[in-house]
Amino acid sequence: MRVRSTLTGYVALLGALTVGYFAVPGWRTATWVVLALCSLIAIVVGVKLHRPRRRAPWLLFAGAVLAFAVGDTMINVQVLVLDRQVGFPSTAHLVYLAIYPLMTAGLIAAIRSRSDNPGLGTVLDTLTVTLGVGVLAWTLLVEPNLTNPGLSLLAKLVSVGYPLGDLVVLATLVQLLTRSRVRGVSVIMVAFAAAALFSGDVLYAAAHLGDGWEIASPIDLAWVVFYGGLGAAALHPSMRCLTEPSPEAEADSRVGVVRIALLCFAASIAPAVLVARALLTQAGEVAAIAVVVIAVFLVVSARLAGVVAHYQQALARERVLGRVHAALSSARSVNEVLAIAERAMGELLAPRPHHAQVWSGAGRQPAQSDIGLRPSVLLPAAELPTELRADMVHLPYGLLLPLTDTGLLVEAESPSPVLVAAGAEVALRRARCSLELLAAQAAEALNRVALNEEITRRQTEEYFRSVVQHASDIIIVINGDGLIRYATPSTARLFGAVTPGTPVLNLLHHQQRAQAETVIEAVRNNRNIDEPTDWCLMRPDGALITVEATCKNLHDDSTVNGLVLTMRDVTEQRRLQHELTGLAYNDGLTGLGNRAYFVERLHQAAQNGVHTDRLVGVLLLDVDDFQAVNDTMGHQAGDELLTVLAERLRAVVANPDDVARLGADEFAVLVTDASHPEALEQRAATLLESLRQPVTVTAGITEHTASCGIASTAQATDGEDLLRQADVALRTAKTAGKNQWARYQAQLHELTRQRIELRAALAQALAEGDFLLHFQPIVRLDDAVPVGYEALVRWQHRTRGMVPPDEFIEVAEDSGLIVELGDWVLGEALRTLAGWRRMAQYTAGESPYVSVNVSARQFRSPGFVDRFRHLLDETGVPADNLLLEITESLLLRDDEQVWTDLMQLRSWGVRIAIDDFGTGYSSLSYLRQFPVDVLKIDKSFLDDMAHSAQQQAVVDAILRLARTLELTVVAEGIEEPTQRQLLLHLGCPLGQGYLFSRPVPAGEIAHPARRRPVDAT
């Protein structure tokens, strides 16, 4: 839009200046100067705006405009301003002469930019036009000036210089226009500007030969066009085309009607001048001869024009055939070859009216006698087949070109395709040779395609023949009577030598023949069986093998004409599948079904129960405290125990397939024969009783119990619900004290949901810091003076308030959050103790210690000892001020890493206590072997001590054992003064419980550093 506006403004300004130049005589000098400046500025702006590939031509054009403007200004100043006559030749006329070399140099630079090859034809055409116009210029302008006696030698030379300069400019312009095809408005504008310069000069010279020339004459319009044409050409976007390389180098080969007419006109100028002079001098014989010369020249030119046109048509057809040959060489199918040939016929017959198609050749084809020795036949439309005439609307003739190497076939069984070209007879005869060449190329391409297909087919046959001969699969061709007609060599590997005519059923095991006969009969009746079937065969050595057999009916295939039976030996594969199925559905330790097997059977039974309205139940059993067996006796003992329990379940359950092992110590029993839910409870009690009996393993005798969860389709809809409900019931039985069964009830689901919510809330509480520590004093029983404090974690729930530990500790253990929670408790306890130590200066042995419970899972977590060391270093608390309470289960497991970690802690000064001593799987050996410092007697031993001599004896035994092993004893859960007195009497030194203080926040402990007696009232 910007370029168009600039160009439009330039043309409007030029028009206004031109009108002003002729209308206002007083401003002619200034107006003419502005016209020249506008042209110069337009050329410079166009070069800057469009950035042509080469600027030299345009700068030379600007120099020519500048020379013209300087000469005009010099003359206008003398005539219009100074009112003087301008002599001839003057300095201005000499400046004018610079226009021609500058214009010529610019045109030559443009020619060289477009093409470096001048081309002989272009040079000859340029010379023809230049010489013709030169004769006219010589006769009209040069000769009169040279023979004018009134002109000086300089005047004659200047007068001759103008037409000669115009001729040179004209010659270079003709070469620019004829060397390559002109593209762009800008090139046309340059040509018009040069033509305007030539015209103005001719008119100016003619005026000088006549009455003279005056300023502001119509001749000035030609020079205005020269100025404006060059400026507009520079402003137009196509100005870049003037110096762009021409895409066509074969300009000499393009001789059109316009060029021939121009050349004839230029060549006729000299005879025409001769005729004119002869007539003026009344030389009639010369005029007649000149006229005859012109006529003969025009006739010869016409003949040459026809030859050139024929040559150009032949060249165009040759190019079409070249492209078609390349396209046919890459064609890969018959349809692709025919489509290329049909398009090529249209190109060869254009631009005259025509029709081109590929005919299948069906019906009668013309005989060889119709066409003689030519590979084509030209027939009137009336003699063509009816199906061809329908498409040839108003076209009188048709040319048939068969695509064969030997010409047209007569009554061929499989006719070859035929190219059909329709049009005028003359046009078809002219294009006949090219069309025959096209047909020959297409026929050759079809032969190549057919040969490639044949080679591919034969290679494929050879390939498949080799594959069949060497295939490991057995391929047998059976005739309609079930007899073997062909068998691949691989058949001998399984059956030995198989002779044709043998009934195929003889190869099969007698138990398999009926099934095989059914399959073969179904395929023979065209009921193909897509899925392969397994057949059992007997080898010559009597061994049975399994084959995967498929049968296809290929009676319609002439190369087969029978049933094709394919068999593959899958004996090993089926054996592996059976083993994998066993691994996938059986437990490797006990031989029972696994979870996948049980879930599949459960879903089946549940669906059948829905359809038959029969009760289906699941008994989910879990061995209580099974981990303790692994810890105390080792994993081998645990495996032996599970194996014995599995055998007991098989013995009790009527159908052993109804028993499965779902997990480590979890079994499941499917019950499908219970008449009512109470029968499931009776079955559960029986199973628990059988599992409760002691088991002798390599490491000793185990005492164990189990818990059971019961669910049935009375409340569940499918197998998934049954398992989920049984699991909820099992957890309920475990929570209720183990060694019992529990039946699923709807409210149990709510308890499970609450447990899940509690686990999620527990994780959130850890992240948000909702836990706090309470401390319970550990006192000397004789004077109630605190010697230490046990750190007990409390959960300050944001909505439920204070949550007791027995509600969330088990959830933390199950979820693994106990590790993170235990680390927090340990760190917070050490930080509290560090705060107490800062409150007072302790002497040796005065500082109270803090006792912290460490779960077995936390202790075994990777990096526990390192984390503990970091906390000691961070808080600065001496290691001997800390007592770690662990459970017996941690020590009962023969774990080298636990032993190493305990020794490491003891080496730092940390003391170790056994919490709840006597409630677990107590073993006196670990007290002697492991580094233990303190025994904590569980509260359950103290509850009935005042009324039970047996309980007193147990406590007394523990105290005696501790004194023997030099261990300190702490009694837990002291609530009555009587308990305190009995413990003192038995020699228990330390204790803790509500009698002395409940667990309280650290801030409520009265001066822990002063170690005053605790009020035991």
Residue 305 banded pLDDT, cuts 50, 70, 90: low
What letter would DSSP give residue 377? Answer: E
Least confident of 18-22, 534-538, 916-920: 916-920
CA distance 878 to 539: 84
| pLDDT for res 659 | 92
42: how many CB neighbours lie within 10 A of its CB? 26
Look at residue 412 and tell me whether its pLDDT is greater than 70.
no
What's the average model confidence in pLDDT over 833-851? 75
d(CA 48, CA 240): 11
CA angle 235/241/242 to nearest 5° reads 85
Tell me whether strands 1000-1001 and 484-487 are parallel, antiparallel or unpaired.
Answer: unpaired
pLDDT at 958 over 80: yes
The CATH number assigned to the domain with range 473-575 reads: 3.30.450.20
Beta-strand relationship, 934-937 and 911-917: parallel
For residues 473 and 495, give the distance between their C-alpha atoms in angstroms, rounded to a whole number.
Answer: 13
pLDDT of res. 83: 65
Q: Which of the pair, 922 or 896, is modelled with greater confidence? A: 896
Query: Average pLDDT for residues 11-37, to the nearest whole number?
Result: 80
Residue 664: pLDDT band (50, 70, 90) is confident
Q: In what order do the strands lie in the sheet with 377-380?
A: 354-359, 418-423, 397-402, 377-380
Tell me, what's the pLDDT at 363? 46
Per-residue model confidence as pLDDT tens digits over 58-79: 888 888 888 877 877 777 677 6
Token couple for 271? 């005879």
Q: What is the pLDDT of residue 892?
A: 56
591: three-class secondary structure by DSSP:
coil
Binning pLDDT at 50, 70 and 90, where does residue 368 land?
A: very low
Comparing 422-436, 926-940, 987-1001, the range with the smallest average pLDDT is 926-940
pLDDT at 385: 79
Instruction: Name the residue type at position 39.
Output: S
**Which value, to the nearest 10 degrees, does the dihedral of the CA atoms of residues 232, 236, 238, 242 take?**
30
Residues 450, 451, 457, CA angle at the centre, nearest 5°? 90
Check residue 773 and give its pLDDT. Answer: 92
β 801-803/849-853 pair status: unpaired
Give the Cβ contact number of residue 995 at 10 Å. 21
Tell me the average pLDDT across 365-382: 61
Cα torsion at 598, 603, 605, 608 (round to 10°)? Answer: -170
Taking only the tens place, the pLDDT of each residue in 636-659 is 888 999 999 999 999 989 888 889
Predicted TM-score of the model (pTM) = 0.39
Residue 694, preceding bond cis, omega within 30 degrees? no
| CATH hierarchy code of domain 755-999 | 3.20.20.450
Six-digit token string for 923:
């073993």
Over the stretch 734-761, which tens digit does the pLDDT of each residue have?
Answer: 877 788 988 887 665 566 666 677 777 7
Could you report the per-residue pLDDT of 31-59, keeping only the tens digit for each?
878 888 888 888 888 888 888 888 888 88
- Give Cβ neighbours of residue 20 (< 8 Å, ≥ 6 apart): 27, 31
Q: What is the pLDDT of residue 970?
A: 94
Complete DSSP assignment for 428-495? HHHHHHHHHHHHHHHHHHHHHHHHHHHHHHHHHHHHHHHHHHH-SSEEEEE-TTSBEEEE-TTHHHHH
pLDDT of residue 371 exceeding 50: no
pLDDT band at 139 (very low <50, low <70, confident <90, very high): low
Q: 253-304 pLDDT, tens per residue?
A: 455 566 666 666 666 666 666 666 666 665 555 555 656 566 656 666 666 6
Q: What is the pLDDT of residue 408?
A: 38
Least confident of 112-126, 443-457, 927-941, 990-1004: 112-126
- The dotted CATH code for 330-360+373-454 is 3.30.450.40
Q: Where are the domains of the chain?
A: 1-114+179-245, 120-178+252-316, 330-360+373-454, 473-575, 593-743, 755-999
Most confident of 245-254, 710-719, 982-991: 982-991
State the pLDDT confidence band at 980, using cuts at 50, 70 and 90.
very high
Same fold, 473-575 and 755-999: no
Alpha-carbon 691 to chain mean position:
59
DSSP of 91-153, one letter per residue? HHHHHHTTHHHHHHHHHHHHHHHH-S---HHHHHHHHHHHHHHHHHHIIIIIHHHHT-TTS-H
> What is the structure's pLDDT at 163?
75
| pLDDT tens per residue across span 1002-1016 | 888 865 555 556 655
The C-alpha atoms of residue 165 and residue 170 are separated, in whole angstroms, by 8
In this predicted structure, the answer to whether residue 779 has a pLDDT above a threshold of 90 is yes
Could you name the CATH architecture of 593-743? 2-Layer Sandwich (3.30)
pLDDT of 413 > 50? The answer is: no
Residues 6+ apart with CB under 8 A from 267: 128, 132, 297, 301
Regarding predicted confidence, which is higher, 296 or 720?
A: 720
Name which of 169-178, 363-372, 460-469, 624-633 the model is least confident about: 363-372
Do residues 436 and 417 make contact, with C-beta atoms less than 8 angstroms apart?
no
Work out the pLDDT band at 791, boundaries 50, 70, 90.
Answer: very high
What is the C-alpha separation between 96 and 74, in angstroms, rounded? 11
DSSP code for 788: E
- Judged against a pLDDT cut of 60, whether residue 409 lies above it is answered with no
pLDDT in tens, 87-126: 667 777 777 778 878 888 887 788 777 765 555 556 666 6
At residue 252, the pLDDT reads 46
Q: What is the pLDDT of residues 797-825, one digit of tens each?
A: 888 788 878 777 777 776 778 888 889 99
pLDDT tens digits along 307-350? 666 777 777 778 888 888 888 888 888 888 888 888 888 888 88
Whether the predicted pLDDT of 411 surpasses 60: no
Looking at residue 582, what is its pLDDT?
66
Query: What average pLDDT does the segment 396-407 reach?
Result: 74
What is the rounded average pLDDT for all residues in the chain?
78
587-610 pLDDT per residue, tens:
888 888 888 888 888 888 888 887
3-state secondary structure 870-906: HHHHHHCCCHHHEEEEECHHHHHCCCHHHHHHHHHHH
What is d(CA 959, CA 983) in angstroms, rounded to the nearest whole number? 10
* pLDDT tens string 186-224: 888 888 888 887 777 777 766 665 555 566 667 778 778
User: Has residue 170 got a pLDDT over 90?
Assistant: no
